[in-house]
Every structure is written in C-alpha cells, then in structure tokens.
Chains A and B, each alone.
Chain A
Amino acid sequence: MRKIFLLIFSFLFFNSCDTEDVLKIDIHFRQFVDQNELELNNLIYTNEADNIFSVERLSYVISDLILYFQNGDSMELNNYYFINLSDESSLKLNNIDIPSPCISVSFTYGFSQVNNTSNLYLNDGDNFHNLMLWPNSLGGGYHYMKLEGRYLDNYGEQQFYNTHTGALNSNDYSVNYFFDIDSSETNENIFIDMNINNIYNDPIYDYNYYGSAIMSSGEAQSVIQVNMLDDVFSISYN
C-alpha cells in the first residue's frame, strides 16, 4: 500500500513539474540558380536573356523579418539581417524560441525608406556599414544587394556585371514579402530561398543592354524591383 502511494505521488510530482515542450525554429537563407544550389566562381549559368554568367560575390539585406504564430502572437526579429556568402554564419539563424507553431512569415528585401538613412548602421558588426553603404551622391542609405560576377558578351568576350540595388536618389525599391506556412505539422526549419535567375527573367534583364554598372540607372533599378516583386524569394519548411 505504501509502495503504491509512493508511486502515485511520484507520478503526480513529476507530471506537475513537466513544462510544455519549448518550440524552436531555425531560419536558413539559401541561394539557387533555378533548381541548382548556387556554386560561386563558375561561368556555368544561363539567364533568360541567354547571358552565360557566374556569381563571384553575393550579399543582400533582409529586414523587418516577422514570424506569425498559431496562437495569434507575432515576433519581429532583428532590425535586419545581412546575408553575405563570404560569411557562412550569416546564412542561418539558430534556435529561435517561438511560442506556438509558425503559420506565416513576412520580410522586406532591402530596407524600407524609414530604415535606410546614411550612417544609421555605422557601428554595426560584420563590417556591414563599410561593405553596404550607398553613397550620398546617389541618395544615401545602404545597398539592398550586391550581386557580382562575370558574363560572356555578344562577342563571347568575358565581361563583369555589378547588379547593385538600393534606394537610388531616395526612391524606395525595396520589396515586401508575405508567405503562409502549413502548420499542421510542427516545423523546425524555415528556408528563405533566393532564385538568382528570377532577378533577371520577367521582364528580361540583359547584361549587354544595362551594362556593368547600374547604381545610377533608375530604369535598371525599376526592372530589378519588378523582378523582385514576383518570384525571386520563396519559402519552404520542414
């Protein structure tokens, strides 16, 4: 009898001390060219304009990243994330504590106007200010993206492209995204995927037409923005 009492007591005691499972999630930033994971420094890709190109350097800004949860809560993560392929640690956010399953995600590619003034991130880590500042002569603030590499021109000669985007003359070319997530199963990973070829596909962007440098070109910035609006970023999860 005494043993049974002890057993029941132990069961109740340990059950009462049991906390709810703590939910965590990882967010991954991945880069693809169509279905293939990006391979740097290889002149193997072809875009919609039939430019054969490589990618040598890629860095971009994701800001206002917000997670929405089944219980009605939401969580805004850091002001911005600097994804830089030269820094592997920038490609993953680890072990984010969440209150209930995540049902949707929103973020901004680049910076909204209010978060994009010169020297705003002067003292931030990861060399962000030095690498991404957008000069005052072009409106100030920060680059949204630096995508650089080589391509073969119409004569088969190797040329260089710098697809640098930002708020040219303070025009806001940032793009807001919102994605729903199937929360019927508990997800532990969210993948925010970029397809580089979709930066150039609709409308078609030809390196030969826009040239190597586009920071001063409102036309090029607009074309990239329209492409960004559509399908450059996508979400997957598991």
Chain B
Amino acid sequence: MKKSLIFLLLIISCNPNDEDNDFETTPYTIISPVNFPQMIIPGDNLLTQEGILLGKKLFFDPILSSNNTVSCASCHIQENSFSDPSQYSIGVNGDFGFRNAFSLVNIGWNNSFNWDGSASSLENQVFEPVTNPVEMANNWVQVEDNLNADSEYRDLFKQAFNIDCIDSIHVAKAIAQFERTLISSNSRYDKFLNGEVMFTNEELDGLNIFFTERGDCFHCHGNINFMDNSFHNNALDENFSDLGLYEVTGNEFDKGVFKTPTLRNVEFSAPYMHDGRFNTIEEVIDHYNSGGVYSATVDPLMKYINSNPYGIPGQTGLMLTQQEKNNLKTFLLTLSDEDFIQNTNFQP
C-alpha cells in the first residue's frame, strides 16, 4: 500500500503540470530545405527552443553515463558529421562496441534507427546507449536521480516540459528534439541543384555514374538525403559475424542486412560500413566496383557479383575505369557541407 502510494505520487509529480496556465514554450519550426520532404515530427514531442537547448546540453553532458565520462557527443562528433572516426567507439569501462557509430546528419528524416533498425523513433533510440554495458553502462533510475539532484536541470526540464520530476521519457524527448535540428543542406551538391554553382565535367560524370546503373549507387542512396530508409545486404561477406536486421526481425532473409546510411558529408564520416571496415572512400568504391561477395541473402541490386555489365567472360563487377572511379569520388565530395561541420548552434 505504501509502495503504491509512493508510485502514485511519483507518477503525478513526473507528469506535466496541467494546472499551470502560465507555462509557455517557444515553438521551433523546421522549415524543410528546397527539394527535401517534410520532416515528420511526433505530435507528442513538437520542437521548442527550450526543448532543443535542453537536448543539446544533455547530448554533450557525460551525466548520462555511469562514471560521468561518456556523453552522446563522445561517439557522435560534429567534425565527423556526428559519427565516430574510430572503427568502434569506446565505452565507460574501456570496452569497445561492435558497430561503427551512425552519422546523425539529417537524422530527422530517418524512419528507423541503428544499423539493425532496432529503434523505431529518435526518442526510442536514446534509451539503448544509456544502458548498453559497452557504451554508457548506466541505468535509468540512476540517470533520473542524478538529473533530479541538479538544480539547473530541474529548471531546464521545467521550462521545456513543465515537469517537476525528471524522467527518462523527457530526457529522450529533449535529445531527440536537438538531433532533429542537425540539418545539412548547404553542400556544393545543394548549390548545384539550386542553380548557384556549375559542376565540373568530372563532377557531372560522377553524378551520372552515381545516378545511373553504371555505378548504381542511387537505388539505395538516391534521394535528397542519400539513403532510402531501407535495409540491404551489400555483399560484404559470405558468412556473417553480425546478423544485422535479423537480430530484430528473426527473418532468415534479413541475415547480414543493414540500414542504408546517408552519404551526406561522407568525406567526414569515415570509417565506412556497419563495422567501419573501410577507411577511405576509395576502398568503398573499390568494393562496389568489384561486385562484392556472394551470400544467401545478398541484395539483387548487387547484380555484378558473378558477371559484369558488358558480358565479358570471367570479369565481375561494375568495371569502372580509374578515371570513372575518381569522378565518382569527386561527386561524392560535393556532398560535404562545411557549414554543418562548423555550425555553432550544434556546439555546447
């Protein structure tokens, strides 16, 4: 009975104070850049200036980790397009994860999260790294206690959500709000689309390789965010040490299948692939140009594993020349957005 009463009081105190008529926040509207779709924002977590500010503070604060040493920003570094230049990120106990940190650029246009799609919203995604033993290795009760003991956080949560008791749900909401503002739309490619710059012949050839079946990059990376919100086995391995999407769905055909990452700011987000096996863009291009490795679940889009576009016996892969590979890389570098990398709004 006593426990129930305490639980009831906790629930009441953590809920927004509906009777506080003076509570006001400053709405923040994301205006989709030209050529971008509308960003879908959950109705129960509309963006506010106060929420974003709080989310940014939490994103950069190691208070979420068990020994106060690792923050979200430890593995999602702005100059690396909010990914990690290390193959695997290091956690609070010196342990390493087993996947490369996903870039957060334009993450608000994603509809599933993590390489295996294990989170269905940005809000859900926040929960996992906090408790993962090789990441922050904390528990949410401890996180809530630490935050509730901090008067500045109590004020900020009150201002953002009108709550007197900080809980995990509102921590996740705040961080998700900040992450939705991480928008890159001022690359050379964007300027080309808007008619502000002309591409060189090399860039144009690279674009045509990318957006035709010569390179066939576009089937997975074709939209304005250079990802298809979908999952593929891109012919990296014959056997899988990491089962990817299968871990979530249990479907045999999802073994070795991973979420398509964005190529925006690909120049800054090395290493590449779910396990960070490739250090350079050249290595990535060479992988696709080779045709890749056969496996039972390989995507049919990887169609030149055993053949080539010209029907030449004994040859496999796209058969791009060195000049074509160079041009493709030149095009990929037009996706770099220095303004995003240096944007002070994304800094603590």
Contacts and interface: CB of A to CB of B under 8 A. Distances in A.
Given A149-B300, A160-B303, A211 B309 contact: yes
A89 B207 CA distance: 36
Nearest to A147: B300
Interface in A136-161: 136-138, 148-150, 153, 157-161
B303 A213 contact: yes
A212 interface: yes
Interface in B3-46: 35, 37-38
Contact of A159 (B228, B253, B307, B309): B307
A135 B222 CA distance: 7
A131 B232 CA distance: 12
B300 A148 contact: yes
B83 to A, nearest CB: 21
A56 B299 CA distance: 9
A162 B303 contact: yes
Interface string A199-238: 0000000000001110110000000000000000000000
Interface stretch (B60-68, B146-154, B211-219): B211-219
A113 interface: no
Interface in A114-145: 119, 122-123, 127, 129-131, 133, 135-138
B208 A137 contact: yes
B212 A137 contact: yes
B229 A130 contact: yes
Contact of B212 (A150, A158, A212, A215): A215
- Select the residue from A127, A133, A159, A213 with max chain B CB neighbours within 10 A: A213
Q: Contact size class for A?
A: 20 to 34
B272 interface: no
A119 B222 CA distance: 12
B222 A123 contact: no
B270 interface: no
Contacts, number: 73
Q: Is the interface of A mostly helix, strand, loop or mixed?
A: mixed
Nearest to B209: A137
Interface string B201-241: 00000011001110010100011000111100000000000
Q: Is the interface of B mostly helix, strand, loop or mixed?
A: loop
B305 interface: yes
Contacts of B309: 211-213
B222 A161 contact: no
Given A119-B35, A127-B111, A136-B211, A212 B303 contact: yes
Contact of B211 (A56, A123, A137, A158): A137
B115 interface: no
Nearest to A217: B213
A135 B212 contact: yes
Interface residues of B, number: 29
Nearest to B109: A130
Given A157-B306, A162-B300, A129 B212 contact: no
Contacts of A119: 35
Contacts of A137: 207-208, 211-212
B311 interface: yes
B301 interface: yes
B304 interface: yes
B228 A162 contact: no
B304 A123 contact: no
Contact of A57 (B38, B294, B300, B311): B300
B300 A130 contact: no
B222 A130 contact: yes
A76 to B, nearest CB: 25
A10 interface: no
A160 B213 contact: no
Given A122-B37, A213-B309, A161 B300 contact: yes
Contacts of A127: 111, 228-230
A212 B304 contact: yes
Nearest to A86: B230
A41 interface: yes
A123 B306 CA distance: 37
Given A157-B306, A159-B306, A130 B211 contact: no
Interface in A73-118: none
A163 B59 CA distance: 45
A9 B301 CA distance: 72
Contacts of B104: none
A133 B222 contact: yes
Contacts of B212: 135, 137-138, 215-216
B302 A213 contact: no
B229 A160 contact: no
A159 B306 CA distance: 6
B226 to A, nearest CB: 10
Nearest to B294: A158
11 contacts: A123-B37, A123-B38, A130-B230, A131-B228, A148-B301, A158-B306, A159-B303, A160-B304, A161-B300, A211-B311, A212-B303
Q: Which 3 A-B pairs have the closest CB atoms?
A: A148-B300, A160-B303, A212-B303
Interface of B: 35, 37-38, 111, 207-208, 211-213, 216, 218, 222-223, 227-230, 253, 294, 300-307, 309, 311
